[in-house]
Structure 1
């Protein structure tokens, strides 16, 4: 069942494309509630045909979303966060990367942003595993939809307590 929340999806084109494909395939978020930025590359323009909203830049996408999903390799995470670091306050941010932590993200974004860090690792059998950590005070009513988003992106998920 799709969650009716609005989500801004940002990242590097390959990681972002896989993330949006997963959200649409698993029907986690309705396509019309997914906001994308043209600044993230021409590869994401194909999602407009599925009903996703394509906006001019990252900031406009974030303004439309309640949740912000950032999907990027660890070496590019800082670059993806840099242009939007001041406009995430009051939103829920899900950062998905091979090496990501709540403290790393908190140091780079506006205060008042609730953070879910999903650190991914490829298993020997080729599946992708994610480990989740939350920032202190992350609203409990938002955990289920955010975990469903993360589950769409990885094969298995471990929630840290």
Structure 2
């Protein structure tokens, strides 16, 4: 395997460059790389974007304008591990922009249909607690939330 490891390919129907620029604007340690365009050889309109290489939070992606044949669904999602409520709020708000669809338990689908899980690190620790009662209380609280609220999770976890 090349030293650069894995790259995630996201299939779009004409929004590859727009989506790449959107994601780069949300995450730190991000940048747009090479933009490839169709030539006269096709199959797309000469000069139109076929792929955009980009990095979001250090993770390599390629956005591909592949057409309408395939769409995103919740079977694949990206987890965003957040240090605090400020980060949860930031990512949730930015991913909801322009028509994102909030879901349960910290899930949100962005305006392109890509699914994200905005997860506070505190939740991971709570639901993994060796005390099954604490873990269950945190899990029940999470199941009742859309955007995750760390204070609410901590209160439930503590038995409040």
TM-score (norm 2): 0.28
Point out the structure with the larger helix share. 1
- TM-score after normalising by structure 1: 0.28
Return the index of the structure with the highest Cα Rg. 2
